[in-house]
Amino acid sequence: MDRMAAEQQIIKLKKRIEEESRHYYIEDNPQITDQEYDQMMRELQDLEDQWPDMVSPDSPTQRVGGMPLPFFEKIVHTTPMLSLGNAFDENDLRDFDRRVRQGLGNQSVRYVCELKIDGLAVSLRYENGLFVKGATRGDGTTGEDITQNLRTIRSIPLRLPEPITMEVRGEAFMSKFAFDRLNKERAEREEALFANPRNSAAGSLRQLDPKIAASRTLSTFIYQIGEIDGRQIDSHSEGLTFLEQLGFSVNQERRTFDEIEEVIQFVQSWTIKRPELSYEIDGMVIKVDSFAQQQELGFTAKSPRWAIAYKFPAEEAVTQLKDIEVS
Ligand SMILES: NC(=O)c1cnc(OC2CCCC2)nc1N
Mutation pick for ligand 1 pocket among 113, 116, 249 (CB with most ligand atoms within 8 Å): 116
Atom of ligand 1 nearest to the CA of 81: 11
- Mean model confidence pLDDT for the chain: 94
Q: How far is the CA of 223 from the centre of ligand 1 (A)?
A: 6
- Catalytic (active-site) positions: 116
- List residues forming the annotated binding site for NAD(+): 34-38, 83-84, 114, 137, 171, 287, 311
- pTM score: 0.92
pLDDT for 316: 59
pLDDT of residue 222 exceeding 50, the answer is yes
DSSP for 296-310? HH-B-SSSBTTEEEE
What are the helix (H) ranges across the chain? 3-21, 34-50, 90-103, 147-150, 176-188, 197-205, 210-215, 236-245, 260-273, 291-297
Over residues 238-251, mean pLDDT:
97
**What's the pLDDT band for 326 if we cut at 50, 70, 90?**
very low
State if residue 17 touches ligand 1 by the CB under 6 angstroms criterion.
Answer: no
Mutation pick for ligand 1 pocket among 84, 248, 250, 289 (CB with most ligand atoms within 8 Å): 84
C-beta pairs of 129-134 under 8 Å, 24+ apart in sequence: 129/159, 129/160, 129/161, 129/162, 129/163, 129/164, 130/57, 130/58, 130/158, 130/159, 130/160, 131/58, 131/156, 131/157, 131/158, 131/159, 133/75
Tell me the pLDDT tens digit for each residue of 261-278. 999 999 999 999 999 999
Q: Whose CA is nearest to atom 16 of ligand 1?
A: 116
ipTM of this complex: 0.98
pLDDT for 116: 98
Over residues 225-247, mean pLDDT:
93
